């Protein structure tokens, strides 16, 4: 992984890259992304094709990964925060419970707390951070046997390890508290899950400033 590249990801690049993929796949226009001034929005309905990347509770859907990679084909230096069952790859992973992961890649992967990312990685190191925290006290305690993480604190910590202009993609059923001095909010992609599942969305933040 290189640390010198600065990836320029904008709301427009996300919309154009993703829509090119959607056109190629013959997806209906309702599943496209749409620019909205300085932001963008969209809704992804996975229909009957919903599949998780693993059997781990709360794992990303395969479609999450495919579509986010289409929207941002080059994520540069990437950190998967709250990484759970994500397999080892050309990125770093951090989770408080590596028991679920199996093999930890030395130097790259970290067992630790998401509120302390800045203590574990160099300053302004990542182009993109993808975060998939437990959404609520219930999810934390009942599913992951941990306390609910202080989400605002995580955003502060992530801010320190993101390059200026870097992107945070946050999956949740509510928007975490963030500072307008630190991030621009770019918009969100709602996931329309099958009946009986919590609504969720990917929220996109861009760290302010230019490297």
Which CB atom, from 97 or from 194, has the smaller least distance to ligand SAM? 97
Binders of ligand SAM among residues 98 to 157 (CB under 6 A) are 100, 113-114, 132-134, 144, 146, 149
CB 189 within 8 A of CB 202: yes
Which CB atom, from 18 or from 144, has the smaller least distance to ligand SAM? 144
Q: Which of 123, 22, 132 is nearest to 83 (CA)?
A: 132
Which CB atom, from 15 or from 81, has the smaller least distance to ligand SAM? 81
The sheet with strand 200-207 has its strands ordered as 33-36, 39-45, 183-192, 200-207, 162-172, 126-131, 78-81, 92-95, 110-111
Q: Does 172 bind ligand SAM (CB under 6 A)?
A: no
Q: Does 60 bind ligand SAM (CB under 6 A)?
A: yes
CA–CA separation, 79 vs 126, rounded Å?
Answer: 7
- In the bound complex, what is the minimum distance in angstroms from residue 182's beta carbon to ligand SAM? 20
- What torsion do the CA atoms of 90, 56, 116, 169 make, to the nearest 10 degrees? 60
State the residues that interact with ligand SAM by CB under 6 A. Answer: 53-54, 56, 58-60, 82, 84-86, 95-97, 100, 113-114, 132-134, 144, 146, 149
């Amino acid at each position: 992984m290189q640390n010198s590249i600065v990836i320029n990801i904008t709301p427009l690049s996300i919309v154009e890259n993703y829509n090119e993929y959607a056109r190629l796949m013959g997806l209906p226009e309702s599943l496209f992304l749409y620019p909205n001034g300085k932001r963008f929005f969209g809704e992804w309905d996975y229909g009957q094709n919903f599949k998780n990347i693993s059997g781990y509770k709360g794992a990303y859907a395969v479609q999450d990964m495919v579509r986010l990679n289409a929207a941002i084909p080059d994520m540069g230096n990437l950190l998967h925060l709250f990484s759970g069952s994500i397999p080892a790859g050309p990125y770093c992973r951090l989770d408080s419970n590596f028991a679920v992961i199996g093999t930890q890649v030395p130097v790259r992967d970290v067992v630790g707390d998401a509120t302390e990312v800045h203590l574990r990685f160099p300053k302004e190191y990542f182009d993109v951070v993808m975060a998939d925290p437990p959404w609520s006290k219930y999810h934390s305690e009942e599913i992951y046997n941990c306390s609910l993480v202080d989400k605002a604190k995580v955003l502060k910590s992530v801010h320190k390890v993101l390059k200026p202009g870097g992107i945070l993609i946050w999956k949740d059923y509510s928007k975490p508290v963030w500072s307008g001095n630190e991030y621009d909010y770019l918009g969100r992609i709602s996931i329309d899950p099958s009946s009986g599942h919590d609504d969720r969305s990917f929220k996109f933040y861009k760290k302010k400033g230019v490297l």
